[in-house]
Amino acid sequence: MTNKTDSPTHQTTFVPAITTVAVPLLIFGQHKKETTTNTPQTTPQTPPKPKKKPTGTAITKYEIAEEKIKFLNIKGFFKKRWVTVKEFPVYEITAVESLDNWLSLTWKGEVHSFLLKKNADSFAKLQEQIQTMLLEHQAALEKKMKATLRRTELLGAINASLPIVDLSFDVLMGLHQKRIDWSRIEECMQGLGTSFSYKAQSLPLLELDFSKVTAAVKSQTAKDASKETFSCLKTIHAYFTGLKAEDDLADATPNFLQTKTAILAYYTLNDLLLAKVVGDKDSKKEETYLDELLKSLSEGTNVKVESEQLLIEVGKFGSEENREDVAEGVRGLFREQLKLL
């Protein structure tokens, strides 16, 4: 039985009432707030400025001739003729650009602009032609500069080496005399110094050390002095004959082959003088070789020395009294011709 006085235990929960007015406010009001918050602000954009119309001197046509570019217009009413508006040496132009019928070029620091009267025409081909000519001209200048440098350095190497060749052969001739004049040989060594070095931008380094020759001469050891002197001559010979053909400039004068020929001819000439001292009477082989070298040298250069003329002078190389004068004379004759290389 249930006691009526005992009421059941109840838990009550308060639920707030949401009216039909509140619901739209909650939904749409919140959405409106979020929309307002998330919308990015935009700044007004400046309208693009219109491009400037190219300006310049109006011309009817252009032409390139004799390394010059001319811009022309036609003049006259009854008797029309072409008149040059502007003229520029192509190789003095430092910059060029074009756009359709507009062209701009820089000459002596000043900018000159031109417009073709016919808008349908274009300056593109002219720009390309000028740029090609400038590149080719620059390449030709660089090639010419390299050839000039090579010529200067080759002649420098020859002129620096010839006195050493002369003194070295003088030492050898002195060592092959019946009675060696050591004081005269020491004078030759003073002319050689202790060492020699020739540096060039476009050529290998040439270095010589005369210390061993000097030591042998001071000790008056003929065999060692002769050996070391030959060694110096071989070094110079190998330097010129060893110049690589792939490094040569064919347009340069003298080139490697001509330089080698000149040095070989000079060695052969001195060898003929040495043969006179040694007493070698059979020198036909050397004489023929000298003649061949001189003919070869004359083909591509201005050197026009005849072997017969040199051999006549060599034939005068007899007694010890006149040897120095004869040697200097025949060498000088050849060296004078080498100036024409």
- The percentage of residues in the chain with a pLDDT greater than 70, rounded to a whole number, is 83
Residue 151 makes CB contacts below 8 A (sequence gap 6+) with 252, 253, 254
Asked if residue 273 belongs to a domain, the reply is yes
Question: What's the DSSP call for residue 206?
Answer: E
117 and 152 both lie in a single domain:
no
pLDDT, tens digit, 9 for 90 and up, residues 254-298: 999 999 999 999 999 999 999 998 888 788 999 999 999 999 999
Residues 279 and 158 grouped into a single domain:
yes
Torsion of Cα atoms, 304 then 309 then 311 then 313, to 10°:
-120
Q: Which of 41-55, 73-87, 305-319 has the highest mean pLDDT?
A: 73-87
Same domain, 110 and 220: no
Instruction: Answer whether residue 166 is part of any domain.
Output: yes
Half-sphere exposure (Cβ direction) of 227: Cα atoms closer than 13 Å:
8
What digits encode the pLDDT tens for the residues 101-152?
999 999 999 999 999 987 667 899 999 999 999 999 999 999 999 999 999 9
Please check whether residues 231 and 274 belong to one and the same domain. yes
| Residue 17 forms part of a structural domain | no
Q: How many CA atoms, within 13 angstroms, populate the side-chain half-sphere of residue 134? A: 18
Is 178 a residue whose pLDDT tops 90? no
- On whether residue 50 sits in a domain, the answer given is no
118 and 169 belong to one structural domain:
no
Does residue 278 or residue 28 have the better pLDDT?
Answer: 278
Q: Rounded to whole angstroms, how far apart are CA atoms 188 and 167?
A: 6
Please choose, from the candidates 257, 339, 334, the residue with its C-alpha nearest in 3D space to the C-alpha of residue 296. 257
Instruction: Give the pLDDT confidence of 31-44 residue by residue, as tens digits.
Output: 444 444 454 555 55
Q: Are residues 333 and 226 in the same domain?
A: yes
340: left (phi over 0), alpha (psi -120 to 50) or beta: alpha
Question: What is the domain count for the chain?
Answer: 2
CA 116 to chain centre: 40
Instruction: For residues 232 and 116, state if they share a domain.
Output: no
pLDDT at position 41: 54
Mean pLDDT in the chain? 85
**Structural domain boundaries enclosing 81:** 57-122
Tell whether 104 and 199 lie within a shared domain: no
Query: Average of pLDDT values for 162-185?
Result: 94
Which comes out higher in pLDDT, residue 280 or 159? 159
Q: How distant, in Å, are the alpha carbons of 15, 22, 28, 180 from that of 19?
A: 12, 5, 15, 140
The order of strands in the sheet holding 93-99 is 57-59, 110-116, 102-107, 93-99
Neighbours of 212 (CB within 10 A): 15
Is pLDDT larger for residue 51 or for residue 193?
193
Is the same domain home to 160 and 112?
no
Mean pLDDT of 77-87: 90
Q: Give residue 4's pLDDT.
A: 42
Domain membership of residue 4 (yes or no) is no
Please tell me whether residues 191 and 268 are part of one structural domain: yes
Predicted pLDDT at 132: 96
pLDDT at 58 over 90: yes
Q: Which residue has the higher pLDDT, 25 or 76?
A: 76
Return the half-sphere exposure (C-beta side, CA atoms, 13 A cut-off) of residue 246. 0
Asked whether residue 18 is domain-assigned, the answer is: no
Q: Is the domain of 239 the same as that of 277? A: yes
Residue 72 has pLDDT above 90, yes or no: yes
Per residue in 29-65, is it b (16+ CB within 10 Å) or e — as a string? eeeeeeeeeeeeeeeeeeeeeeeeeeebeebbebeee
Q: Is residue 13 part of a domain?
A: no
Q: What is the pLDDT of residue 306?
A: 86
CB within 8 Å of 220: residues ≥ 6 apart: 180, 182
Does residue 35 form part of some domain? Answer: no
Q: Are residues 83 and 174 in the same domain?
A: no
Q: Which residue has the higher pLDDT, 252 or 271?
A: 271
CA 85 to chain centre: 39
Banded model confidence at residue 305, pLDDT cuts 50, 70, 90: confident
- Distance CA(113)–CA(105), nearest Å, equals 7
